[in-house]
A and B are shown apart, each in its own frame.
Chain A
Amino acid sequence: AQSVTQPDIHITVSEGASLELRCNYSYGATPYLFWYVQSPGQGLQLLLKYFSGDTLVQGIKGFEAEFKRSQSSFNLRKPSVHWSDAAEYFCAVGAVISSGSARQLTFGSGTQLTVLP
């Protein structure tokens, strides 16, 4: 079965500093990978996705992520963090549901980002 690990529960960075959030996945085939962001009291918003092709993908709000098959990783990066980036970030892998043909997302446990002024 597929799984996603986000090893950092909480990360604190200063505004203007660079950011990297780690994500490792386990999946038997070529994975479809996603990053979502959840602001306080809000639902999840898709930041970016990887299906195939270029391993460096660009997303919204200045985020990017790099797929590294050899490391089973899909780390999220941003060169300069803004105070409005404070939120919880979830990495997810897409897979076929074992009981049928529909697709599902399997999420990591999330990384809470705090941005210091």
Chain B
Amino acid sequence: NAGVTQTPKFQVLKTGQSMTLQCAQDMNHEYMSWYRQDPGMGLRLIHYSVGAGITDQGEVPNGYNVSRSTTEDFPLRLLSAAPSQTSVYFCASSYSFSPRGQYEQYFGPGTRLTVT
């Protein structure tokens, strides 16, 4: 199993550009989520999905969109990039068949995004 994969590893955008961060998992996990990591702030939840066709907002959703058309993929879209979105983005997945299962999350290696 490859686990959770993310592409690209690094990206530089100009203010106002849009892009999609890719996330895929091959563990047949129902639950997937996106976090952003900023210095001194830990990880904050952006959006999450409990299964194909179902998404919802997390703690910091503004400026981001998600969709979940398949169990494997959960892309994160930046609609109009802003310097405040400079961060490291992590995708995670877990089983959702039990509450405890949802908490045991597997993380991807991250995407480092810089917006100038």
Q: CB within 8 Å of B: which residues of A?
A: 4, 9, 32, 34, 36, 41-46, 49, 51, 90, 94, 97, 99-100, 102-105, 107-110
Size of the B side of the interface (Cβ < 8 Å), in residues, is: 28
Contact of B56 among A44, A100, A109, A110 (CB under 8 A): A100
Check B48 against A104 for contact (C-beta < 8 Å).
yes
Contact check, B103 vs A43: say whether CB atoms are below 8 A apart. Answer: no
The answer to whether A97 and B58 have CB atoms under 8 Å apart is yes
B105 touches A105 (CB 8 A): yes
B107 and A104 within 8 A (CB): no
Contact check, A102 vs B42: say whether CB atoms are below 8 A apart: no
Residue pair A43, B31 in contact (C-beta under 8 Å): no
- Neighbour of A42 across the interface among B45, B56, B109, CB < 8 A: B109
Question: Do residues A49 and B56 form an inter-chain contact, with CB atoms below 8 A?
Answer: no
| Whole-angstrom CA separation of A94 from B94 in the bound complex | 13
Is B108 positioned at the interface, with any CB of A under 8 Å from its CB?
yes
Total number of residue pairs linking A and B with CB closer than 8 Å: 64
Contact sample, A vs B, 5 pairs, CB 8 Å cutoff: A9-B40, A32-B103, A42-B110, A43-B108, A102-B102
Among A32, A42, A97, A110, the most chain B Cβ lie within 10 Å of the Cβ of: A97
State whether B4 touches A102 (Cβ < 8 A).
Answer: no
| B90 interface residue per 8 A CB criterion | yes
- Minimum-distance CB pairs A-B, first 8: A107-B42, A43-B107, A103-B102, A94-B103, A44-B107, A107-B43, A109-B42, A43-B109
Give the one of B33, B92, B105 with max A CB within 10 A: B105
How far is it, in angstroms, between the C-alpha of A57 and the C-alpha of B106 when the chains are bound?
20
Contacts of B104 in A (CB 8 A): 46, 49
Q: How far is the CA of A1 from the CA of B114 in the complex (A)?
A: 31
Does the CB pair B109–A97 fall under 8 Å?
no
Interface string of B70-112 (1 = CB under 8 A from A): 0000000000000000000010100010011011111111100
CB of A64, distance to nearest CB on chain B (Å): 18
Q: How far is the CA of A105 from the CA of B44 in the complex (A)?
A: 9
Cβ contact within 8 Å between B50 and A102: yes
Q: Is B33's CB under 8 angstroms from A104's CB?
A: yes
CB pair A90–B56 under 8 Å, yes or no, is no
Indicate whether B2 reaches chain A with its CB closer than 8 angstroms: no
